[in-house]
Amino acid sequence: MKRRLFSRRFLIFPVALIVGGLALQMLEGHEARAVPHASSPFAALAKFSEILQVVQENYVDDVAEPDLIKGAINGMLESLDPHSSYMDTEEFKEMQVETKGEFGGLGIEVTMENGVVKVVSPIEDTPAFRAGVQTGDLIIKLDTTAVRGMTLNEAVSRMRGKPGSTIVLTVVRQGASSTLEIPIIRDVIKIHSVKGAKMEAPGIGYVRITNFQSHTTEDLQKAIEGLKKEAGGKLDGLVLDLRNNPGGLLNQAVGVSDLFLNEGVVVSTRTREGEVDRMSANPGDILDGAPMVVLINGGSASASEIVSGALQDHHRAVLMGVRSFGKGSVQTIMPMSDGSALRLTTARYYTASGRSIQAKGIDPDIEVAAVQAQTRVPANHSIQEADLEGHLTVEGEAGKQGAAAQDAAPQDSDEIGSDGTITRTIEDFQLRRATDLLQGFKAFQGMKPH
């Protein structure tokens, strides 16, 4: 058997072309394989196999073949779009755990953008959320390692780790004068997707969905039934909070929408062959037609946008906040025979009216920025009988302190100006506006024509 001898000839390039500091050499003596005709379905595989062999035989360091294959698969999928990816057996197992609501890590939903990791949304009550990670943050370093050059799965794998261990994220944030270093202590992330159910005002309920898991529809139904019971059997209005909800399972987005719709298309998906799958609502509205406000923002993505779009298109709810993220594609999990899986974009989805929100997002009906609004309360407010502690009512029962007196009385977080004016910060201005709107609906419905 002949030994192949490789002679190396150095190629000299103009300085302008070697800024990257590359030393290039020509590999001679390599015997090219016979490649099938270009029209053959095996031609591409033969080319890949040849390149794989050359890399294995000549790369400067030893590289395990499984790592090369995995890298090639990742590169192929990530060249398609930011949401298609490959999961090895361990990553696939973790993904299955995540959809059930418990996993280890930091608690952020991320995507890849221009070679860095972009935060879609921090998940409420997780280490990342408490550390101050924000929607839109660009993660450029994980500890001391630059993110550029990593795949999304590699970056996610580095962010996960043993609970109690610390990782430092270096992020670029819009409006910040320099990069930010955010230390985060990893923890076991337990996600309860339906949270914060409460009566925001008399007759007005509030509930938040943080993401869409396998039991979200069921849990939301229980939460709303609890609010109805607390309200005496019926709600006059509901605020559904989808802010910073990165999405999740498509069937749960349809199920949540169905809770509030009596009929009609919730969402449709279309494949590249033009196949259309329409998912529709069943009769029955859990609120019996009571008005709704849905809160959205730039962290509301995917399944959140399906719900928002369905309720907006059917004129079932008023959307309030700022434009949503704009992810209008559907990913299908395709298990492989070895226990790995592909997350592959297989369809685009369209709202009930047929609009695509891909890279556009959903615009709210009423735009309300997430600001800490301030209200000024005159300190010389005229106190009336109804404002006095223990005042008598018409029925002769002891009264409670009136709302006007509560508004006029200084609170711990207030700032009192030199003129005696109280400046009060409203922590969640968007929620306040949503509640005010629903109370307005309630007031109008209570009016009787004379």
Mean pLDDT for each consecutive 10-residue tract of the chain (450 residues)?
39 33 51 61 87 94 94 93 91 78 81 89 89 95 94 88 92 94 91 91 96 94 98 97 94 97 97 95 97 97 97 98 95 95 95 95 96 53 47 48 42 52 66 96 78
Which of 344, 333, 217 shows the shortest CA–CA distance to 286? 217
Q: Are residues 243 and 351 in the same domain?
A: yes
Range of the domain at 114: 104-190
- 3-class DSSP state of 381: coil
- Residue 179 placed within a domain: yes
Q: Are residues 273 and 128 in the same domain?
A: no
- Residue 308 placed within a domain: yes
Burial of 94 (0-12, 13-18, 19+ CB in 10 A): middle
Catalytic residue among 193, 300, 302, 324: 302
Q: Are residues 256 and 301 in the same domain?
A: yes
Q: Are residues 157 and 114 in the same domain?
A: yes
Q: Are residues 345 and 232 in the same domain?
A: yes
Active site residue 81: no
The pLDDT value given to residue 157: 85
C-alpha span between 285 and 287 (Å, rounded):
5
- Residue 234 placed within a domain: yes
Contact 118, 150 (CB under 8 A): no
- Return the percent helix, strand and coil in the chain, to nearest 5: 25, 25, 45
The pLDDT value given to residue 183: 97
Active site residue 234: no
Angle of helix 65-78 versus helix 43-58 axis, rounded to 10: 130
- Residue 295 placed within a domain: yes
C-alpha span between 376 and 392 (Å, rounded):
30
CATH number at residue 276: 3.90.226.10
- Residue 174 placed within a domain: yes
Q: Are residues 229 and 179 in the same domain?
A: no
Kind plus residue range of the DSSP H or E element containing 112: strand 108-113
In this structure, what token pair is assigned to residue 398?
């002891």
Structural domain count of the chain: 2
Domain C-terminal end among 143, 167, 190 = 190
Contact 324, 298 (CB under 8 A): yes
- Residue 58 placed within a domain: no
CATH number at residue 176: 2.30.42.10
Kind plus residue range of the DSSP H or E element containing 141: strand 138-142
Catalytic residue among 308, 313, 324, 387: 313
Domain C-terminal end among 159, 190, 221 = 190
Q: Are residues 386 and 254 in the same domain?
A: yes
- pTM for the model stands at 0.70
Q: Are residues 186 and 198 in the same domain?
A: no
The pLDDT value given to residue 117: 94
Q: Are residues 122 and 154 in the same domain?
A: yes
- Residue 246 placed within a domain: yes
Q: Is the CA virtual torsion 194, 298, 319, 362 positive or negative?
A: negative
CB atoms within 10 A of CB 333: 14
Q: Is the CA virtual torsion 43, 347, 255, 237 positive or negative?
A: positive
Q: Are residues 203 and 340 in the same domain?
A: yes
DSSP conformation class of 398: B
Active site residue 85: no
Catalytic residue among 121, 228, 304, 327: 327
C-alpha span between 343 and 123 (Å, rounded):
21
- 3-class DSSP state of 74: helix
- Residue 361 placed within a domain: yes
Domain C-terminal end among 162, 190, 218 = 190
Q: Are residues 168 and 311 in the same domain?
A: no
Question: Phi and psi of 217, rounded to 5°?
Answer: -60, -45
Question: Phi and psi of 103, rounded to 5°?
Answer: -160, 165
Q: Are residues 217 and 343 in the same domain?
A: yes
